[in-house]
Amino acid sequence: MLSLQFIRENADRVKRDVLLRNTTAPVDRILQLDEERRAILQQVEALRAKRNTVSKAIGATKDAADREVRIVEMRLVGDEIERLDTGLNKIEAELKEKLYEVPNILDPDVPKGPDETSNQLVEVVGDLPRFPFAPRPHWELGEIVGGLDIERGAKMSGSRFYTLRGPLAKLQRALIQFMLNEHGRAGFTEAYLPYMLTEASLYAAGQLPKFRDNLYRDFEEDYYFIPTAEVAFVNLYRDEIIPAGQLPMRFVGHTPCFRREKMSAGRDVRGIKRGHQFEKVEMFVYCEPEQSEAELEALVARARSIPEILGLPYRVLALCSGDIGFNSTKTFDLEIWAPGQGEWLEVSSASNCLDFQAWRANIRYRPGGEQGVRHPHMLNASGLALPRTVIAVMENYQREDGSIEVPEALQPYMGMNVIPAVMA
RNA sequence: GGAGGGGUCGCAUAGUGGUCUAGUGCGCCCGCCUGCUAAGCGGGUUCCGGGGUAACUCGGUCGAGGGUUCAAAUCCCUCCCCCUCCGCCA
């Protein structure tokens, strides 16, 4: 969230960015509540100060009658404090709730526009492959190489589930290993994380209350399934003060992700592009505010290195104000071309969230050689999302008979050069 | 899941209703003293919020949240976490 102080001092900017995001947020109500809060706070704190002083005096008073007079007086003060406190609590509860609804401010570089049609194409890298035959979509290739089984996934778990077996299961694992190793080599610390988090953790990361409809949760206990590893990474340092000299901290981890995609039944139904459960390799950075712009560039470069090494054509988009995520001030998406289904697949989203999540999750750090504490900036980027990268490899490396070449970088992980066609 | 023990300032500990403005030791920071170092001496050392240009000041903060009281680290209730043992188990 944005700090109250920031909203107070930059109200116009905050309101303008909310409009640019094509959304709404109760900024005026927050400003009003803030003023009410401070007015009451001054009264109630003055009364508390009085009670503290007098109560201490009562302890030191020997005269019983004198004590009794003061106790009665303080009883009245106590009643008044309670009355004011009740009002204050109500205001603070509403204030907190409303603060949770305000999205991050926008970086000035963010293109303006109401929805995804205004996203800006930054760069296209690699030539789109030309095939001397009609390239097949991955669900057909999956049948030919005999590793994709959508029906049995649906049988055990319903629609939007599938199973992989044999070389395709192995291809996914190879990609995960490959990406973890690549990012690890670049200095990112590998992390293994919980896949279920408490409700408080989901609030801290900004998933709740807004995205409740997209989350799976345990029926009886306080556990939510992570929709992305980002949620866990944010909570790594929740309610902590990071000692001086530790930033930047760069992490990478692989987790499954669980999302309730309650979208219209007709969209993205073919194949495995969008499921309720998928794998993802995620990068996450904690850094000092002065570093976050450079760290975002570095994260995008990290993410891009994967399709580049794999020889997959991709493009980079700068998300516009209407499409950018709630927590983010600036986001780049990476999309890989899938020639079989003739579509760009989003495989990464790299975002600078500034100190937005740090405020929400109560994360501070000690700057070296300086007094006090500051809020770190936090960034995240997929590196990359999995079944989609599997799709991209399958569709870009397919051959006429439906067999699939294994990109050179993956061959050591796969132990094979070609995924053979077993059904013609 | 059962039984017991425990959560206090960076660390270790003291504190069972008012003398706690949470003490002491260690660590750390500043200063004094000092050929150097060590020791010694003096001062400082949580975080959040309010007021103030500032010096400063007020409130809150002893795992979390409620309650009792003029007054709570201390008493009561609920919850969380950690440790030991038993059960179960990948």
Output the domain CATH number for residue A12: 1.10.287.40
- Counting as low any pLDDT under 70, the low residues of chain A are 263-268, 369, 424
Considering its fold, how many domains does chain A have in total? 2
Tell whether A107 is covered by a domain: no
Residue A43 Cβ < 7 Å to strand B: no
Upper half-sphere CA count for residue A340 (Cβ side, 13 Å): 24
Same domain for A293 and A385, yes or no, is yes
pLDDT at A265: 59
Handedness of CA A406, A412, A415, A416 (dihedral sign): positive
Q: What is the CATH number of the domain that holds A289?
A: 3.30.930.10
Say which residues have a Cβ less than 8 Å from residue A200's Cβ, sequence separation at least 6: none
The answer to whether residues A358 and A378 touch, using CB atoms and an 8 Å cutoff, is: yes
How far in angstroms lies nucleotide B50's C1' from the CA of residue A42? Answer: 7
Catalytic residues of A: 259, 274, 346, 349, 388
Strand B within 7 Å of which CB atoms in A 58-77? 58-60, 71, 74-75, 77
Tokens of A277: 């459960």
Tell whether A104 is covered by a domain: no
Helix axes A292-310, A386-396, angle to 10 degrees: 40
Tokens of A321: 């104000």
Same domain for A120 and A83, yes or no, is no
Same domain for A226 and A288, yes or no, is yes
Residue A371 Cβ < 7 Å to strand B: no
Domain coverage including residue A132: 116-419
Q: Tens of pLDDT along A67-85? A: 888 888 889 999 999 999 9
Same domain for A245 and A303, yes or no, is yes
Same domain for A90 and A127, yes or no, is no
A13/A19 Cα distance (integer angstroms): 10
* Strand B nucleotides with an atom less than 7 Å from a protein beta carbon: 18-19, 21, 47-51, 58-60, 69-71
Same domain for A145 and A72, yes or no, is no
Same domain for A209 and A62, yes or no, is no
pLDDT at A208: 85
Domain's final residue, options A56, A74, A99: A99
Tell whether A185 is covered by a domain: yes
Same domain for A348 and A394, yes or no, is yes
Tell whether A424 is covered by a domain: no
Residue A417, CA distances (Å) to A387, A412, A421 in order: 20, 9, 13
Tell whether A95 is covered by a domain: yes
Is the previous residue joined to A384 through a cis bond, with omega within 30 degrees of 0? yes
A398/A404 Cα distance (integer angstroms): 4
Tell whether A74 is covered by a domain: yes
Domain's final residue, options A99, A128, A161: A99
CA triple A138-A143-A144, angle to 5 deg: 95
Q: Nearest nucleotide by C1' from A45 CA?
A: B59
The answer to whether residues A341 and A395 touch, using CB atoms and an 8 Å cutoff, is: yes
Same domain for A126 and A241, yes or no, is yes
Q: Which amino acid is at A140?
A: E
Tell whether A105 is covered by a domain: no
pLDDT at A311: 96
Tokens of A103: 């999205």
pLDDT at A211: 85
A419/A402 Cα distance (integer angstroms): 9
Same domain for A84 and A128, yes or no, is no
pLDDT at A220: 79
A46/A21 Cα distance (integer angstroms): 42
Same domain for A271 and A177, yes or no, is yes
pLDDT at A60: 75
Domain's final residue, options A43, A72, A99: A99
pLDDT at A44: 92
Q: Nearest nucleotide by C1' from A46 CA?
A: B58
How far in angstroms lies nucleotide B14's C1' from the CA of residue A242? Answer: 29
Residue A40 Cβ < 7 Å to strand B: no
Tell whether A174 is covered by a domain: yes
pLDDT at A397: 97
| Structure ipTM | 0.87
Same domain for A161 and A303, yes or no, is yes
